[in-house]
Amino acid sequence: MNKIYSSAILLSFLFFSCKKETPPAPKPLEISVTSVLQQDVDLESEYTGQTFGQSDIQINPRVDGIIESMNFKEGSFVKKGQVLYTIDPLPYRAKLNEAQGVAAESQARLSKTKSDLDMITPLAKMNAVSQRELVSAKAAYNASLAQIKASDASVQNAQIELGYCQILAPISGLIGISKVRVGDYVRPGAMSILNTISDLGDVRVRFTISEQEFLRLFREFSKPNSALKGSGATVTIKLSDGSIYPEKGKVSFADRQIDPSTGAITFEATFPNPDKLLRPGQYVKVALLTDIRKDAIVIPQRAVIEVQGIYQVYVVGNDNKVQMQIVKPGPSVKNGYIIEEGLKPGDKIAMGGTSLLKNGSVITPKIVQWQLGDPETVAAK
């Protein structure tokens, strides 16, 4: 009995040890899936620009001398006609006094020569004096008249120079940091800049575009039915911290020529500046509407796989099986691509995000809604 029992146990052990368990089938990957969109897309080109005031006026001295006073606070707003600097006026006041003295002498000389002429004229008619004396008296009188004009001009010039000792603000605006201090000696000249005032009511932004882009835009705007005519001149700017400036601008003009050294042309746009946030000298990113694509096919950038210049997406079929599809992408816009070939409206594509996804894989689709420019996808309800 013991032998029979032992044999039965041994057979049972061998039976169960030889039986293999079948592993469960792997669960399909859960992959985010979205539909291909078809919509009108505005394409913007981005350029680097620099800001300027509506007017940026340099303050230069018009007479030489020592700065006697500064009558403003640096970095503040000044009004047109406000006294900014005072140059020592003593030398120019002395020059004015001298010119006025010469003018007084000229006036006295004119009175004398006129009196002489008035006295000699009737005597000459009676032949009491010679004609030569009469001519000499007339010449002296005319010379006195000319001297009066010269002395008056000297007085006027001296008054002007004395007035230049007070340097006034030519416009109302924001004044910068002074390049001179009280006691500094200044003199006229293009290189002698005391300060700069900027009118910040509107701010100008200058940027350059390539000659090829300029020609394309010019031809597009020249079309009678161009979609850009209504809004193509509107521009936006992005500040250095990445924020979008809230006010929109308008293209004011383009330069008269293509710069031969760079092959680019300069454009200028004007932006309202109610809060005085924009200051001259800032570098900004300028976004200009350069094209409008009607009924464009748009997909998320993260759905596109690029390998050695070939762009592919995973298209999801009705059986939840993915197939690799080669596509021809157009311009990128925000967080999406415009697809020119390879997809049609309504196609469902995998959003990617995993290296486990292979051609022919069966997935569990997680439908998400995606819109161009959305910061993230939202699960569909």
Evaluate whether residue 3 is within a structural domain: no
Instruction: Please state, in angstroms and as integers, the Cα–Cα distance from residue 102 to each residue in 82, 92, 112, 158, following that order.
Output: 33, 15, 15, 12
* Percentage of the chain exceeding pLDDT 70: 89
- Three-class HEC string of 282-339: CEEEEEEEEEEEEEEEEEEHHHCEEECCEEEEEEECCCCEEEEEEEEEEEEECCEEEE
Residues 317 and 333 in one domain: yes
Which of 4-13, 172-181, 283-292 has the highest mean predicted lDDT (pLDDT)? 172-181
Residue 236 has pLDDT above 50, yes or no: yes
| pLDDT classification of 13: cutoffs 50, 70, 90 | low
Residues 224 and 120 in one domain: no
Q: Name which residue leads in pLDDT, 136 or 74.
A: 74
Which of 229-243, 287-301, 365-379 has the highest mean predicted lDDT (pLDDT)? 287-301
Task: Over range 327-347, report the average pLDDT.
Answer: 88
Lowest mean pLDDT of 19-23, 105-109, 339-343, name the range. 19-23
User: CATH number of the domain that 123 lies in?
Assistant: 1.10.287
Residues 187 and 66 in one domain: yes
Residues 302 and 370 in one domain: yes
Convert the pLDDT of each residue in 148-157 to its tens digit. 999 999 999 9
Evaluate whether residue 221 is within a structural domain: yes
Residue 78 has pLDDT above 60, yes or no: yes
CA 93 to chain centre: 46
Q: Distance (Å, rounded) from C-alpha 350 to C-alpha 303?
A: 6
Task: Over range 49-67, report the average pLDDT.
Answer: 94
Residue 30 has pLDDT above 70, yes or no: yes
- Three-class HEC string of 111-148: HHHHHHHHHHHHHHHCCCCCHHHHHHHHHHHHHHHHHH
| pLDDT classification of 225: cutoffs 50, 70, 90 | confident
Residues 71 and 135 in one domain: no
Note whether 47 and 286 are within 8 A (CB): yes
Evaluate whether residue 13 is within a structural domain: no
The sign of the CA dihedral 274, 269, 262, 242 is positive
Task: Over range 138-153, report the average pLDDT.
Answer: 90
Residues 357 and 309 in one domain: yes
Quote the number of domains for the chain.
4
| Domain edge (last residue) among 275, 293, 311 | 293
Task: Over range 99-124, report the average pLDDT.
Answer: 87
| pLDDT classification of 6: cutoffs 50, 70, 90 | low
Q: Name which residue leads in pLDDT, 243 or 378.
A: 243
Note whether 31 and 292 are within 8 A (CB): no
Residues 269 and 337 in one domain: no
| Domain edge (last residue) among 293, 316, 350 | 293
Convert the pLDDT of each residue in 200-220 to its tens digit. 989 999 999 999 989 988 888
Residues 157 and 171 in one domain: no
Convert the pLDDT of each residue in 107-119 to its tens digit. 998 888 888 888 8
Three-state secondary structure call for residue 150: helix
Q: Distance (Å, rounded) from C-alpha 93 to C-alpha 100?
A: 10
Q: Distance (Å, rounded) from C-alpha 258 to C-alpha 264?
A: 6
Q: Average per-residue pLDDT in the chain?
A: 86
Residues 327 and 363 in one domain: yes
Q: Is the pTM of this model over 0.75?
A: no
Residue 16 has pLDDT above 70, yes or no: no
Evaluate whether residue 67 is within a structural domain: yes
User: CATH number of the domain that 184 lies in?
Assistant: 2.40.50.100
Residue 290 has pLDDT above 60, yes or no: yes
Evaluate whether residue 15 is within a structural domain: no
Residues 71 and 131 in one domain: no
Domain that residue 140 falls in: 89-164
